[in-house]
Amino acid sequence: MSIETASTPTIRVQGLEKSFKDLHVLRGVDFEVTRGSIFAMLGSNGAGKTTVIKALSTLLAPDAGTATVNGFDTATQSAQVRESISLTGQFAAVDEVLTGRENLVLVAKLRHLKHPKAIADELLERFDLTEAGGRRVATYSGGMRRRLDIAMSLIGDPPVIFLDEPTTGLDPEARLEVWQTVRTLAAAGTTVLLTTQQLEEAEQLADRIAILHGGRILVEGTLAELKRLLPPTEVQYVEKQPALEDVFLALVGKNGDPTIDGADAEGAHPDGTHPKDLP
């Protein structure tokens, strides 16, 4: 049982350091994450994001500093930490030979949970995968695989989930699906720590954002707080043009069907014109 109280941060990191020979990856990292919030660690390749995740999930011992997860010390209470968390890596760790339901049942059995089939069915419904549950995962889209991967990581109801660049390699539609899944997790009380290189991802999802660079957190706060670090901008009238993502989603639609001005399944409008024919 967790020793965390309501006033204690779900994740607390103080002075975390890690080096690999002469390479100093983490140089004193400090941050806290409150229960039920989404905390984004934003940084480029090599900034140290994955190293932080590995240290918090007890896969890597830091050289200095302390960290607690769900009230447990990662150094002295590693077993309790592992029972409190789930880790989803940069690429979906699903068995493509099995069906979606079989993947979930397998993990539930490995965790010695009762009623694994019922657990699988509940998660398939929760992640909008019920109709695909009987299909082999090899037939799933990237977004469906990622949702299944996150569903598998939630078996056993861990209070904390680590998402290491959860939308790597996904197309715009799949990325939006994963974003909604992450929001749903936090709304249900799960504490989410995610790493990302995408500015928009952090902006869209996070309650608080930490910018990690060169092994140090440069700044940390809400989006509004971070924006106030820059001088106020001069207000000017600018005609807003649709972004490429707007065009893409309008053309293919949420379920892959064109949606621009009533275009049919081939993209043609009732008058015979086609989007590609437009000036």
Place of tokens 């007890």: 58
What is the identity of the amino acid at 8? T
Model pLDDT, residue 242: 75
pLDDT in tens, 88-140: 887 668 899 999 999 999 999 998 999 999 999 999 998 889 999 999 999 99
pLDDT at 260 over 60: no
Q: Which residues, other chains included, contact 189 with Cβ-Cβ below 8 Å and sequence gap of 6+?
A: 35, 36, 159
Confidence class for position 8, pLDDT limits 50, 70, 90: confident
pLDDT in tens, 58-76: 999 999 999 999 999 999 9
The residue that leads in pLDDT, 34 or 156, is 34
**Domain range 11-227, CATH class:** alpha beta
pLDDT at 273 over 70: no
Q: Which helix (H) or strand (E) holds 177?
A: helix 172-187
Model pLDDT, residue 248: 66
Burial category of 83 from C-beta neighbours within 10 Å (exposed 0-12, middle 13-18, buried 19 and up): middle
Q: Please tell me what DSSP assigns to residue 17.
A: E
pLDDT at 276 over 70: no
pLDDT at 236 over 80: no
- Residue pair 74/67 in contact by the 8 Å Cβ criterion: yes
Helix axes 172-187, 244-252, angle to 10 degrees: 90
Vertex 259, ends 253 and 264: CA angle to 5°?
115
Vertex 130, ends 160 and 178: CA angle to 5°?
45
Looking at the chain, the whole-number percentage of residues with pLDDT higher than 70 is 85
Looking at the chain, the whole-number percentage of residues with pLDDT higher than 90 is 55
Gap between the Cα atoms of 117 and 35, Å rounded:
30
- Which pair of structure tokens corresponds to residue 243? 């972004």
pLDDT averaged over every residue in the chain: 85
- Which pair of structure tokens corresponds to residue 16? 């975390």
Query: How does DSSP assign 133-174, residue by residue?
Result: TTSBGGGS-HHHHHHHHHHHHTTT--SEEEEESTTTT--HHH
CATH 3.40.50.300 residue ranges of the chain are 11-227
Three-class HEC string of 66-102: EEEECCEECCCCHHHHHHHEEEECCCCCCCCCCEHHH
pTM of the model: 0.77
pLDDT at 57 over 80: yes
Confidence class for position 33, pLDDT limits 50, 70, 90: very high
Model pLDDT, residue 1: 42
Model pLDDT, residue 262: 47
